[in-house]
A and B are shown apart, each in its own frame.
Chain A
């Protein structure tokens, strides 16, 4: 069917906050425009938030610059406000108009919309976000309203018959989550679950066996017919040569998605790295490498709603020919006030000159980097970093110098142009040195997230940081007193190796050809005694393993396993031996260390009973913990005081589950946050709400938007989505008359599940309260303790 052709100045693809804002601004300005949305409604991503979900207007300090209003509020209110505004402004919108291709036509673009319509546009604003292009069913009846491609909140549905099409991990997880309250049928194209991971496979097979899920194997969707009522559907499957009819309330198709990158790249847009998470290269005005094609929103690297709204506005201003000063310009000016120079560009140039590390950044990246950083001018002697703090900020020295003091008392001086702070940041360990400012010191302080993002995006930025980290790691760990030039061969021979928990670094009896410096995670060292592996020691970041054999010129005498996902710096054995030969002082120092280790290993190997305990603890992931809750079940009276204390001090939601978790003898590791060295939960937090305190507590701030990423990312299941109770029950009332007991949840699990205002909650070690975590303080028998691996392993005399 030959589609209609529409011609506009600006075509805006995607009606998320960025696209919506752009369209609204275009309408306001009177630009001819068209907003194309693939879904049948505007702002589909936000629409799919849970009902009544509180949406946060972060970052608070950023001014809003958009025809659309936006403040903290519930999903419905925000969407209604936007819809009303869009209608007021007369924004030209076309729904259900998925853009299938964008081609150049001279200076203009031709957009082909699903269904065949075409749009001619002089400029294109791409605001399609990161959600990707979900693959859709192509069978007849695919437009049935009961068919959906996403499941946001499985608790939203109950008592329905739901068919899940697709047996990838996403589909299976959806299906399993839905079984709690619904009858679930899955449609499996194959006769097994070949695309699922082992956990999901095991769970789905069990669910099919116990009847909670019905599975049609080797089945394909033939068509979707209208059901008995308007909401229900009748799904017809082809199984073998026969048809199976399923009456259902809902069909969820999870049949994969096409990442947006491929689509964008097809348009000719250049990405700086092949990294999957890389963002396209953009000008300060969000123009891509294709002139006239602008990219805004999450795809441009701005995942927050407010940023997207601002970008939508800015991009239309740019297209309209107005040289708009970015909304963050005043903020940036304020940030850079301490730097010499007349205007911002001057100052940016100054930074480029002074700091080689920043050379790899584009102006836009540098601006972003600086917006999220702070410029400090500490007085001489001011402590910038305190040793043993958990702290992951990164510093660049713009001017002056700093002086660091290590535990050994050794002092180092770093001058302008250098940087520091990357060791704690990359390893997740405590600060190894105290850093004080020297005269005329001018620093740029950057948060962890910004730095990690830049490292991921800009290879030229990552390499110097990583190599410096490597050099400093080797230097501090192995040879603090050796000159840099003499360990240069060592650094050149070094390579970084990544490990998963349980991976083996080297085995007893292997040829001794390397040395591993642990730069992230931790490693257990064991030896085979009486037919089983006896754990001898535990090596955290900053220790090294495997060198004993190098020194004594024998094969490896122990086996090393990664106790947590981590990285080691592998140093070539031959180079190391050469260094030892050249540096007798170093050799002597290492010999001393090894003498101590041999005797410690011997002592540990005598304690057979401890070794399995350590093995057990490591298997529980305590190798990457900084502070874990341990219960001695020979003392635990199962009073659940710990849980109640946690709930009572945290809005009625306990962040620990005493009964859950593994046991070994009477030692029990309940499900509770371990405050990992490199917290998995912090990996992907859109509002950057998960933080780490200098004392080490990993906690979630109020900025949480309830996306649930952390809950999914935590391998220990210690984060949950919950709603804090407003009211705390009165203890006296409960004691006298009963009712709700302090420390017990206010709502039934079902109600909590249905609640819309859920946010991520996890253990914060009660850092708001003095005297330590409430769970431990509330334990009447001393069964519950919180301890760091150093403590419980030292007590077991292993380190």
Chain B
């Protein structure tokens, strides 16, 4: 193989092209001094390339190049003529001899060496590359930053807003909203689903804007924020609440009070805050109440209210309901008073709000209960004698919780008293008893008994006529005159027993008994009237005796919600109610407020139990004014609304909507 090696003119020294002729098996090229073609470039191996010409299968001449790589491996490639091979900073042009050499015989290949870069350029290039490399190391934060920004704005703001408001529809009707809410709540992920499942089913809707879980009562539609948040950038309006809660009662009934700014401008959201989860929605802060009630006079001049600034110090004492007998004259004077009792105005009986915590004597307050029931005898530590011997009674023996956690079942004579207080009337026949609760029935029972006894004969009574004393065979009828005599005895006898039963022995033991005026007046059926929870029995005028009706209360404190006895079950009853000291059924055993304050106090006070107003007092307590009808004046001023006008004119006249 003959190779003509030709150096291209270098820019540095413009020598005429130097040519050398190589003859041998392989042309070795590299930086080593022993190479056939020496390239002054230390960055190539000592032998970087070796080449020879070969003939391929079709007889075409080609150049085979063995390249030694830096890692010592050798790569073989075949190059066509007139191609170039780079080696370090040099480029080798493999030229066909015919082209480059004018008709010189025997030359197989011409290698033209071109210096691509000088050693200095090479170095500068390397340095520049390194410098650039180092200069580029600061990773740009722009893409990540702007990407994150855009992603969050899109997913957390734009998409939810578009999903909610994008359809451009007006706020939906309540029915539509409810239907949508049901649909959405149906699509909710069950709470037991794992995080992965939740993520998969998550969609960028406006639920991510919820600051907290909904209250349990609203959780069913919490996926549909539009239920409450009807319009963007408008606070939740009352109508959203009232759509469901339209029958919620207002706080006060008096129209002139409702027309105050406090009520007119109040919104549901002032007190009720959603998204607090199980904590519920009701405000638990006294301030809302005491804003008005601390000095009610300054705002509600017309109302008579006791100022209450707080519970611990300025709450007034309890004003329990107390029954008072109504005299006949009073009844006659005022036809409105139908009952024999009336409930006196609680204000008339103030209890010192600063009363000591110790239970006061039960005699402090007396009510006209008309029941003779000495609590002290019944719950005496030593016990009380009964038909089965001495028995120690506790409160629970008679006051059985009614299961509501609040009150007790009514005391029933038959269940709670009759075991000891038997209603027999004939000592010779103790199993015979009169019924309880109906004077006429008592009279009838006694009469029937003695008439039957007299007609049956065999009565060993001294004053009895003979026919009565005689023993008869069954079925034997009495002569009519004898029968008359017997009945006359029976009548005498029963009158005696009736008087004795009512006035001496049985009824009077517990009840107040009085003789009926002679004029029996209809009707015979008991006239039941209600006043609160007090049952009043109408007297039976057929009876010569009348039992005074009882004035028993089930709820003495009318201003507050019923006392939750159940929650206080861990305390002994007598720790509040002074029953062991009470010897009269007229004693009012409501404990003083001081007793409450032993445990309860305002929020922020050192009391053991921190209480807010609404723990005892409901807010929505009006009987015939509804939240949705409030602010009549405002409504009236906005136009001729017939409802509002009627509201103002009719005062408390909208009882028809009263649902409680």
Instruction: Mark A residues whose CB is within 8 Å of B.
Output: 159, 161, 183, 210-212, 214, 227-228, 232, 234, 246-247, 735-736, 738
Contact = CB atoms under 8 A, between A and B. Distances in A.
A736 B147 CA distance: 11
Contact of B142 (A214, A227, A234, A738): A738
Contacts of B12: 161, 183, 214
Contacts of A183: 11-12, 118
A210 B118 CA distance: 12
19 contacts: A159-B11, A183-B11, A183-B12, A183-B118, A210-B120, A214-B12, A227-B14, A228-B14, A232-B14, A234-B14, A246-B13, A247-B13, A247-B14, A247-B15, A735-B142, A736-B142, A736-B146, A738-B140, A738-B142
B599 interface: no
B119 A211 contact: yes
Contacts of A738: 140, 142
A738 B13 CA distance: 46
Interface in B1-40: 11-15
Given A214-B12, A227-B14, A736-B146, 15 more contacts: A159-B11, A161-B11, A161-B12, A183-B12, A183-B118, A210-B120, A212-B120, A228-B14, A232-B14, A247-B13, A247-B14, A735-B142, A736-B142, A738-B140, A738-B142
Q: How large is the interface on B (under 10, 10 to 19, 20 to 34, 35 or more residues)?
A: 10 to 19
Contacts of A211: 119-120
Nearest to B118: A183
A631 to B, nearest CB: 20
A750 to B, nearest CB: 11
A634 B120 CA distance: 37
Interface in B145-162: 146
A227 B118 CA distance: 22
A736 B149 CA distance: 11
A227 B11 CA distance: 13
A312 B12 CA distance: 47
Interface in B519-551: none
A161 B140 CA distance: 42
6 smallest A-B Cβ distances: which pairs?
A: A247-B14, A183-B12, A212-B120, A211-B120, A161-B12, A738-B142
Contacts of B146: 736
A739 to B, nearest CB: 10
B343 to A, nearest CB: 79
A212 to B, nearest CB: 5
A247 B12 CA distance: 7
Contacts of A246: 13
Nearest to A734: B142
Nearest to A160: B11
Contacts of B119: 211
Nearest to A738: B142
Nearest to B123: A210
Contacts of B13: 246-247
Nearest to A213: B120
Contacts of B118: 183
Nearest to B119: A211
A370 B287 CA distance: 89
Interface in B163-201: none
Nearest to A736: B146
Nearest to B12: A183
A227 to B, nearest CB: 8
A227 B14 CA distance: 9
Contacts of A228: 14
Interface in B449-477: none
A325 B358 CA distance: 125
B431 to A, nearest CB: 105
Contacts of B142: 735-736, 738
A486 B597 CA distance: 103
A210 B11 CA distance: 19
Contacts of B11: 159, 161, 183
B88 to A, nearest CB: 16
B143 to A, nearest CB: 9
A743 B120 CA distance: 32
Interface in B113-130: 118-120
A709 to B, nearest CB: 30
A232 B15 CA distance: 14
- Interface hub of B14, B119, B120, B142 (most chain A Cβ within 10 A): B14
A536 B146 CA distance: 57
A500 to B, nearest CB: 36
A228 B14 CA distance: 9
A556 to B, nearest CB: 52
Interface string B248-288: 00000000000000000000000000000000000000000
Nearest to A228: B14
A227 B12 CA distance: 13
A247 B118 CA distance: 17
A738 B142 CA distance: 8
B477 to A, nearest CB: 124
B275 to A, nearest CB: 36
A697 B314 CA distance: 77
Contacts of B140: 738
A183 B119 CA distance: 11
Contacts of B120: 210-212
Contacts of A210: 120
A738 B15 CA distance: 50
A212 B140 CA distance: 37
Contacts of B14: 227-228, 232, 234, 247
Nearest to A180: B124
Contacts of B15: 247
A340 B323 CA distance: 126
Nearest to B142: A738
A271 B119 CA distance: 54
A214 B120 CA distance: 12
Nearest to B140: A738
A234 B14 CA distance: 9
A212 B13 CA distance: 14
Interface string B96-133: 00000000000000000000001110000000000000
Nearest to B146: A736
A738 B12 CA distance: 42
Contacts of A214: 12
B328 to A, nearest CB: 97
A127 B45 CA distance: 64
A736 B119 CA distance: 42
A729 B478 CA distance: 136
Contacts of A234: 14
Contacts of A232: 14
A85 to B, nearest CB: 43
Interface string B279-311: 000000000000000000000000000000000
- Interface hub of B13, B118, B140 (most chain A Cβ within 10 A): B13
A227 B119 CA distance: 25
Nearest to A247: B14
A234 B16 CA distance: 13
A213 to B, nearest CB: 10
A735 B146 CA distance: 9
A11 to B, nearest CB: 44
A637 to B, nearest CB: 12
B1 to A, nearest CB: 34
B18 to A, nearest CB: 14
A228 B11 CA distance: 12
A183 B13 CA distance: 10
A233 to B, nearest CB: 11
A210 B121 CA distance: 12
A277 to B, nearest CB: 41
Nearest to A735: B142
A736 B13 CA distance: 52
Contacts of A227: 14
Interface string B364-388: 0000000000000000000000000
A613 to B, nearest CB: 31
Contacts of A736: 142, 146
A736 B145 CA distance: 10
Interface string B226-237: 000000000000
